[in-house]
Amino acid sequence: MPTTNSTERNIHKMTRRDFNTLPHRASWDMETIYDSILLFPTKRKHDSGYACMRIVGVVDGQAVEIAAEGPDDICWHLPPKKHEYIPNIRNDCILKNGALQFHGYGKFKVGSCLSSIDVTFLPSKE
């Protein structure tokens, strides 16, 4: 189980059960900024008929907290294009636990958790 020891919260070493033991964000109606976010299905059905999701906030490769648990969709907010490209947001899937990780050259602001949740990408300064 993860503790405050940072080596035990390394997202590449944690199991799905380990993520279940993380603390929840202090309040559902706050905004929090993370280096990256992880998405997991909760295997629970939302009233909409879609699966509920769990979002885990990550800082410096360490799982910080469960930022949200229960939304069925994410509304992505991306900055306007300055050139002919979308800001460099990437995603991959972590082998040990199956988490879908979103990361990039910037930060992710996770908003209030309702039925839907807003996630804003804040790109690094060019």
**Per-domain boundaries in the chain:** 6-123
Q: Which distant-in-sequence residues (6+ apart) come within 8 Å of 80 by Cβ?
A: none
Dihedral in degrees, nearest 10, Cα atoms 112, 118, 119, 120: -100
- pLDDT above 90 covers what percent of the chain? 59
Find the angle CA(4)-CA(12)-CA(10) to the nearest 5 degrees: 15
Count of CA atoms in the C-beta half-sphere (13 A) of 68: 30
Higher pLDDT, 80 or 111: 111
pLDDT tens profile 45-59? 888 888 889 999 999
The overall average pLDDT reported for the chain is 87
pLDDT level of residue 84 (50, 70, 90 thresholds): low
pLDDT tens profile 2-39? 344 555 899 999 999 999 999 999 988 899 999 999 99
